[in-house]
Chains A and B, each alone.
Chain A
């Protein structure tokens, strides 16, 4: 069974540009989470989807970040416009909706904003 995949693995952009990160969860996993680690900091929760609905957006840093999960399958995280402090590794995770759900993480997308 394929794990969580993320694309691209690396992205280097200029400040002010737009970047879109993609996450494909494990098939059948209705929960999808985004996390990120910015330089020198801990991994932080960004948001959580159940199918196509946003359940918790409490970790989204500001309105430059937009997450979508149309159709309840893959998800995208758009950063527009990107700022220097957005540099870091963005992780996606998915899990089933059961009483306890182990989260399966993707390898992450390393974003560098110059």
Chain B
């Protein structure tokens, strides 16, 4: 399974944008880029995913480099509730399922 590299931790102030980077230089052509987050004492939660093009949803935006070797999760206005561990995961989707290989993730702290 392809590996990802993320900073261990990041900090942000409330209502400011946050850019969470992820390097995945060994990504294959069939790998999707997934982002999940884990709030304290909860199970992981889906944030966004993409393959080649940038993606937006109600939670965040995903910017994917042209060579696909890196990506950035963008939280446009951080809130205290966004404090969590964010996981960047590569996984191919075949047969209608994919297993997630979690790394250490980035622990995001949001300050009032």
Q: Which residues of A contact B (CB under 8 A)?
A: 4, 31, 33, 35, 42-45, 48, 50, 55-56, 59, 91, 93, 95-108
Contacts and interface: CB of A to CB of B under 8 A. Distances in A.
Contacts, number: 60
Contact residues on B (Cβ < 8 Å of other chain), bracket: 20 to 34
B42 to A, nearest CB: 6
Given A43-B102, A44-B102, A100-B49, A105 B44 contact: yes
B93 A99 contact: yes
Interface in B81-107: 93, 95-104
Contacts of A48: 97, 99
Given A55-B95, A99-B93, A104-B46, 11 more contacts: A31-B97, A43-B44, A48-B99, A55-B97, A93-B43, A97-B96, A97-B97, A100-B32, A100-B93, A103-B36, A108-B42
**Do most interface residues of chain B lie in helix, strand or loop, or is the interface mixed?**
loop
B16 interface: no
A107 B42 contact: yes
Interface in B20-39: 32, 36
Interface of B: 32, 36, 41-46, 49, 93, 95-104
A91 B99 CA distance: 13
A42 B49 contact: no
Nearest to A100: B93
A45 B100 contact: yes
9 contacts: A31-B96, A42-B103, A59-B99, A91-B43, A97-B96, A98-B96, A99-B93, A101-B93, A103-B44
